[in-house]
Amino acid sequence: MRLNRFLILTGVITLVALGYVNQQNKIYYFGYSNGKKQTELSNLLDNNNILRYNINKWSSLTCLDDKILQNVDFEIPSQRRLVRLETAEQKAQFKEPKASASLIVSFFSRARQAEAQTINR
Amino acid sequence: MYIKYFSRRFYAVFFVFFFFFFFLITRILFIQFFKGKYLKSLAKKQYNLYVELEPRRGTIYDRKLRPQAININIDSLYACPNQINDKDDFVNKLVPVLKLDVPYLKDRVDRKKSFIWIARKLSPDVVSSVHALNLKGVGFIKESKRCYPNGSLASHMIGISGLDNIGLEGIELFYDNYLRGEPGFALFLRDARQKKLELWEKMIPPKDGYDVILTIDEVMQFIVEREIDKMCKEFNTQRAAIVVMNPHTAEILAMANRPTFDLNNAFNIDQQTRRNHAVCDLFEPGSVFKIVTASAAIEENKFSEEVKIFCENGDYLVGNHILHDHRPHGWLSFREVIEQSSNIGTTKIAQGLGPEVIYRYIKLFGFGSKLGIDLPGEASGIVHPARYWSKTSIGAIPIGHEVAISALQLVSAVSVIANGGLLMKPYVVGAIQDKYGEKIKEFSPSVINKVICADTASRIKDILVGVVDNGTGKLAAIRGFRVAGKTGTAQKIEADGSYSHKKFHASFIGFVPADDPVIAICVIADEPSPYYYGGVVCAPVFKRVATDILKYLEVAPQLVKKD
């Protein structure tokens, strides 16, 4: 009876000890695997930051100026255009040529010229 | 008898074992209670590792949240010399990749240490080249490096931070307390080989630095930097500065200096190049200073625009000094004196006001004291009180000599006229936010003092429009806009104290559109050649900068009726 109790007690203590050792092993195992994942994650984040930095750098105006615009005088396009309107007096001074009576003659008239209309008015 | 001997042996053995166990238990109790703490601390040292966690330094953005300075993690290379077998082979393989000197690397590797740095903060392609060598006894540690994607853009304003991420100049220094953050720490577990595990007993996370949002616009800054480069190339100028400001709020929209430097390679650059000339350096302004005299005259009601002043045909004795105009004039109106920038006419106006009045308005315009911009090293300027003026000072100070001012003070002064008479405190940081975008602090415009009334400002504005339309600033005219401005050409002082006839300081200040100003600009050039007049050197630069900025801001041109 006493031997049985002794054996049971020893068995329980051994199991608890083994359980504790296993727990410590698992802790260190998770520590290693966590470390690997942490390294991978930080590498990915760092690469992401480096890529974002490179995108900002290469798309910056200074870099574009260095690479592309060395021989070009860059100018911001104007949103508007100033157009000087003719006054009535200026219009009166200018005499328009009379339209030719003959249709055939009008084809050969100097006053007739092709007009290209701009897309942006 | 046998029993008697048996009892004695029994007790003898019993006492031996008793003393043995007594000694053991005493020892155990002694170790547990008296040496327990010490042994625990030894054990903790072995399996715990105290690591300081570096905070992320805050990012610096322009006003449209485009990053100007960011931190990225970069590998630094270390070596364990006691783990390197063939040191010569090690050095020969690393030298071409890292581009280091052989004696330097050999000296480091030969040291009897377990850890040495070989190279800090390497670029990714160098890191991959070192990885490819597959060397034993080396490793990489991530370190944070401050990077500036725009290189030299706004370099003097943004400034630099050192290897340990502490601000050294510019915004990096002035707002270092916000940008730096607070380090944290963690107690990591270590295994039997002293390798750090990603498990911690205790951790206080680091507090990342706050982000700073500047008032400058990257596009406007680029326009200004491009034009200042053109000016320096065309007129052989070694030093120049351009400041663009919102005249109503005093936000600095762009600030450029020459010479300049790349923020990513700043540590080999000399101090003079890294100096923010627009804020820290002083110069005699010359004729641009006449806006002070003119404003004082109108505000004090001593003169009106049509009052006639005789300009002595180009020569005028003041004290024991003969004052000259760049071109002889006879009778000019007050307006024409400023438009044609007559020194004699301006001196006579100043004589009519008196030194005390002139000095008062010089101080009201912010000269001779700091404006309080949030950049380090601001110069206050040199302005002598009226009681120290000599007999010739009345012919010098009102026309911009015998005073020393900065470009920042000049642009603030012209903004007084643009915004209706208020001297505003200039600033370069609009807000501070945390990494989640929550605003921690916002900066708003503040008035330093009222200089002149709105009516006076309006009248001076019209006179300055005349400078551009009819006077010395014609090259600053912009089609479709009314431009107000003033040119300046100041002789520099030689080593012997006399004014030079070969070295000049050219300048132009102005704002546009004159009726509802959006931008105020100051352009200065030090020793331009072969031309040195402000109207020739700086006025065209003003025109080009203002034209592009107005287009960028989509400011509609005003249709001006031509007489």
Catalytic residue check, B287: yes
Mean pLDDT by 10 residues, chain B (563 residues): 73 91 93 90 81 89 94 86 83 85 84 82 83 84 87 94 86 95 86 74 88 96 95 93 97 96 86 92 94 96 91 87 86 92 93 94 95 95 93 92 95 96 97 94 96 96 95 93 95 85 93 96 94 94 96 84 48
pTM: 0.81
- Rounded Cα distance between B31 and B49, Å, is 25
Q: Output phi, psi for B493, to 5 deg.
A: -95, 135
CB within 8 Å: A60 and B67? no
> Is A93 an interface residue toward B (CB < 8 Å)?
no
Minimal Cβ distance to A53: which of B66, B72, B196: B72
> Is A42 an interface residue toward B (CB < 8 Å)?
yes
Q: What percent of chain B has pLDDT over 90?
A: 64
- Rounded Cα distance between B305 and A11, Å, is 111
What angle (nearest 5°) sits at the alpha carbon of residue B87, between those of residues B85 and B88?
135
Is the per-residue pLDDT at A104 higher than 70? Answer: no
**CA distance to partner chain A, nearest, from residue B62 (Å):** 13
> Is A85 an interface residue toward B (CB < 8 Å)?
no
Tens digit of pLDDT for each residue in B390-407?
A: 989 999 999 999 999 999
What angle (nearest 5°) sits at the alpha carbon of residue B338, between those of residues B295 and B560?
95
Strands (DSSP E) contained in B280-433 are: 308-310, 315-318, 321-324, 331-333, 422-424, 429-433
Is the per-residue pLDDT at A86 higher than 80? Answer: no
Cβ atoms of B168 and B162 closer than 8 Å: yes
Q: Which of B128, B155, B551, B563 to mutate to test the interface with A (most CBs of A within 10 A)?
A: B551
Among B244, B277, B245, B234, smallest CA distance to B258 is for B277
**CA distance to partner chain A, nearest, from residue B440 (Å):** 24
Exposure string of B481-490, with b = 16+ CB inside 10 Å and e = fewer, is: bbbbbbbbbb
Catalytic residue, candidates B287, B393, B406, B415? B287
Q: What one-character-per-residue DSSP string does B422-454 give?
A: EEEPPBSEEEEE-TTS-EEEE----EEEE-S-H
**Which positions in chain B touch A65 (Cβ < 8 Å)?**
222, 226
Looking at residue B248, its amino acid is: H
* Residue ranges in B136-201 assigned as alpha helix (H): 155-158, 170-174, 176-180
Minimal Cβ distance to A82: which of B73, B480, B548: B480
Q: Mean pLDDT, chain B, as a whole number? A: 90
- Percent helix, strand, coil in chain A, to 5, is 60, 0, 40
> Is A57 an interface residue toward B (CB < 8 Å)?
yes
CB within 8 Å: A79 and B554? yes
For the record, the structure tokens of B309 come out as: 């002043």
Burial of B519 from C-beta contacts in 10 A (0-12 / 13-18 / 19+): buried
Predicted interface score ipTM higher than 0.90 = no
Q: Which of A59, A72, A76 to mutate to test the interface with B (most CBs of B within 10 A)?
A: A76
How far is CA B212 from each of CA A11, B145, B197, B243, rounded to the nearest angstrom?
65, 17, 35, 20
Q: Per-residue pLDDT averaged across A55-76, rounded? A: 78
CB within 8 Å: B189 and A77? no
Cβ atoms of B199 and B188 closer than 8 Å: yes
- Sign, CA dihedral B539-B498-B377-B290, equals negative
> Is A90 an interface residue toward B (CB < 8 Å)?
no
- Rounded Cα distance between B167 and B173, Å, is 4
**CA distance to partner chain A, nearest, from residue B218 (Å):** 8
The pairing of strands B211-214 and B60-61 is: parallel
CB within 8 Å: B150 and A46? no
**CA distance to partner chain A, nearest, from residue B152 (Å):** 8
